[in-house]
Structure 1
Amino acid sequence: MRIALLTYSTKPRGGVVHTLALAEALSRAGADVDVWTLGRGGDSTFYRPVDPAVGVRAVPFPEVPGEDVGARIQRSIAVLRDAFTPGDYDVVHAQDCISANAALPCLRTIHHLDTFTTPALVACHERAVVEPVGRVCVSESVAAEVKAGWGLTPTVIPNGVDADRFARAAGPAGDADRAMWRSRLGPYVLALGGIEPRKGSIDLLEAYALIRRRRPDVRLVFAGGETLFDYRDYRAAFERRAAELGVHHEMLGVVDEDVLPGLVAGASAMAFVSTKEGFGLAAMEALAAGVPVVARDLPVLREVFGDAVRFAAEPMAMGGSLASVLAEPPDPAPGRALAASYTWEAAAAAHLAFYAQHLSEGGGRA
């Protein structure tokens, strides 16, 4: 079976992490897999090495100074569509709104649903939900949102987790990496994904200001943040609020993949307060490393994490929960067991069954 997986970026965003791990697991299961992406900023490959058995097709995508978000996304769709060769594959599976619009008709994974106000982006999002020939969601909660909004019934296939990699970072093999981060940062609460509205960054800032009263030694650290969207206004509001609260934070930007597990494992806690998520892969990796997680109280995160994390709905409760896990870290064993229960091998097997079903239904190329 020849499979094309499509994603919109080479950078370490959640959907891209998912795409590469799934591609490698499918390849180990015997499939012939290529990953197609846009090579933004001159990239010719992904943020990390990819198993050589997986083909990487990075389509050049030069930057256009002054281009607004809507125009960039429309150009992204057009450039990827013009380069992609769907006839080479039995299965075409897009992992996001942009690549789905470029590859229709295709299969689509809907990781989470977005809300746009620009007409072109609203139309892009709508097509990527309605027009694929089949859909996957990584949680029952998101599948229920799709059914409620469009009357469609996606197949639910949970994410895998590279739990061993993060567990190793928390053990003797990761001592030096954890010590390096703790020496640089001191005790820290970690948030992955940058400063942006969907990540609830200003809410986290408010929560951090509360715990600083009791734990002035604890630093708030943000890592990641690669995105297509322009969040300058939100980031300016974040910085204004930080100044008003008199608190400081550390922005690491995109962290190299080889040192990320040590950064996660070295944290005193992870704050995972996104307003929308499909699964919560970064939080699951933190649990694999034995790091306590405070998550926003969302149905999808209740579904995926159960009792393995602390939930909080608003900044005051987030601050209280963070202070609690910092003072008395919970038993890490349940979280580690939960993370280890999600494997990419299981995800790949479920995807292959999903692909076989679509092909057997006589629809030709999936």
Structure 2
Amino acid sequence: MKIRLSTYSTKPRGGVVHTLALAEALGRAGHDVEVWALARGGDTAFFREVAVPIRLVEVPELDGESVGDRILRSIALLTDALAAAGPVDVRHAQDCLTANAEGAAHGYGDLVRTVHHLDQFTTPSLAACHERALVEPAQLLCVSDAVAAEVAAGWGRTAPVVGNGVDAARFAAAEAARAGEPWRARFGRYVLSVGGIEPRKGTLDLVEAMASVDAPLVVAGGDTLFDYRGYRDEVFARAASLGVEPVVLGPVPDDGLPGLVAGAAAFAFPSTKEGFGLAAMEALAAGVPVVARDLPVLREVFAGAVRFAADAPGIAAELRGVLAGDDPGAPARTSVGRALAASHTWDAVAARHLAAYRARL
């Protein structure tokens, strides 16, 4: 099959990581795959090399442009580029922006769209884009049962679960090669959070928790379309009042991420909303203990492999327990976590996608 996957960014966000890994797995299965993406800030490539053809649509920066206007302009630019593209057997959008562009360019009648998680927008134009990308595509796919249940409850649509994959071997190899040692030498015995500082990632609760945890907090990642400066200011102000000094790395080069993860003493995953939890799965692959927010979707994906907590005090208590080494069940949990991460192969995920594609052809 000739397959076009589209994603909203070139940066290492979860949906983009998913898109690239899925594209390469589909390519290994013998299919003709191309990845399209919006490119901002002068980007001319993805955050890593990609083993299938790519097509980037430039979105020039405009001073003073609002987030809503920038997103609508991005959709329009991608729509124009896609309108000139040749036919394919499968058009698969990985987010609401690219679903809107694909729909505007070639219609929604055969469009596949993956729902990684559900957003809540207050800007009317963005809310309309989000709604259209859930209502109009011919086929929705979801990465977990929990997200599929949300789609069914909110929109009355049945969406097959195709799951997510993880490059477990890459993170396990970083642990075996002791690639975390330079990071430990730099930060000491640190708690790691990946995903940046934003409301959905639960950063404010994590800062509250770290006030009673005797370890530095390192925060990586965080490139996003949205303007979270107000939330970031709130997080930093609260951190200062608590005496917490988070080390904010921003996006980490792809070849450095496995070592950063493998070097952590604990991985904090306090998200208030997730679709799967790829970053936490990568930590399990590296043998790092994970403390996660007690959400239904994370119970579904990680039961038996991580420690759960409902709020900031609970997160603090679980992190202190991990760092103190007082959990007799830790070795078994680590073993379960490694096996769980290794079971989520991208080739298996690609096979499930191909079955969903074929069902529509």
Consecutive unaligned residues in structure 2, runs of 5 or more? none
What does residue range 200-349 of structure 1 map to in structure 2 within 5 Å?
200-211=202-213, 215=214, 218-328=215-325, 330-331=330-331, 332-349=334-351
Taking only the aligned residue pairs, the percentage that are identical comes to 64
Name the SS of the counterpart of 2:34 in structure 1.
strand
Partner amino acid, structure 2, of 1:72: R
- TM-score, length of structure 2 as denominator length: 0.95
1:79 corresponding residue in structure 2: 77
Deviation digits for residues 26-49 of structure 1 (CA, Å, limit 9, x no counterpart): 000011000000111111210001
1:68 corresponding residue in structure 2: 66
The alignment's C-alpha RMSD in Å is 0.9
Provide the rounded CA distance (Å) in 2 between the counterparts of 1:272 and 1:178.
Answer: 19
Name the SS of the counterpart of 2:350 in structure 1.
helix
2:54 corresponding residue in structure 1: 56
Provide the rounded CA distance (Å) in 1 between the counterparts of 2:46 and 2:59.
Answer: 14
**How far does residue 87 in structure 1 lie from its aligned partner after superposition?**
4.0
**How far does residue 86 in structure 1 lie from its aligned partner after superposition?**
5.2
1:119 corresponding residue in structure 2: 124
Provide the rounded CA distance (Å) in 1 between the counterparts of 2:244 and 2:287.
Answer: 27
Deviation digits for residues 50-104 of structure 1 (CA, Å, limit 9, x no counterpart): 11xx110001111111111100110111011100145421100000010010001
Partner amino acid, structure 2, of 1:155: P
Consecutive unaligned residues in structure 1, runs of 5 or more? 360-366
Provide the rounded CA distance (Å) in 2 between the counterparts of 1:111 and 1:86.
Answer: 26
Name the SS of the counterpart of 2:114 in structure 1.
strand
Provide the rounded CA distance (Å) in 2 between the counterparts of 1:13 and 1:91.
Answer: 23
**How far does residue 179 in structure 1 lie from its aligned partner after superposition?**
1.3
Provide the rounded CA distance (Å) in 2 between the counterparts of 1:190 and 1:280.
Answer: 15
Deviation digits for residues 320-347 of structure 1 (CA, Å, limit 9, x no counterpart): 0011111116212110001001110000
1:35 corresponding residue in structure 2: 35
Contact 1:206–1:315 (8 Å) recurs in 2: yes
Residue 146 of structure 2, aligned match among 135, 141, 149? 141
Provide the rounded CA distance (Å) in 2 between the counterparts of 1:162 and 1:293.
Answer: 17
Partner amino acid, structure 2, of 1:284: M
Residue 193 of structure 1, aligned match among 184, 192, 195? 195
Provide the rounded CA distance (Å) in 1 between the counterparts of 2:353 and 2:101.
Answer: 21
Instruction: State which drifts further: 191-200 or 177-186.
Output: 177-186
Residue 172 of structure 2, aligned match among 149, 167, 171? 167
Provide the rounded CA distance (Å) in 1 between the counterparts of 2:244 and 2:278.
Answer: 28
* Count of aligned pairs between the two proteins: 349
Contact 1:86–1:103 (8 Å) recurs in 2: no
Provide the rounded CA distance (Å) in 1 between the counterparts of 2:112 and 2:62.
Answer: 30
Contact 1:204–1:273 (8 Å) recurs in 2: yes
2:96 corresponding residue in structure 1: 97
Provide the rounded CA distance (Å) in 2 between the counterparts of 1:191 and 1:130.
Answer: 34
**How far does residue 243 in structure 1 lie from its aligned partner after superposition?**
1.3
Provide the rounded CA distance (Å) in 1 between the counterparts of 2:73 and 2:248.
Answer: 30
Deviation digits for residues 250-278 of structure 1 (CA, Å, limit 9, x no counterpart): 00111000010000000000000111100
Residue 182 of structure 2, aligned match among 162, 180, 187? 180
Provide the rounded CA distance (Å) in 2 between the counterparts of 1:88 and 1:270.
Answer: 44
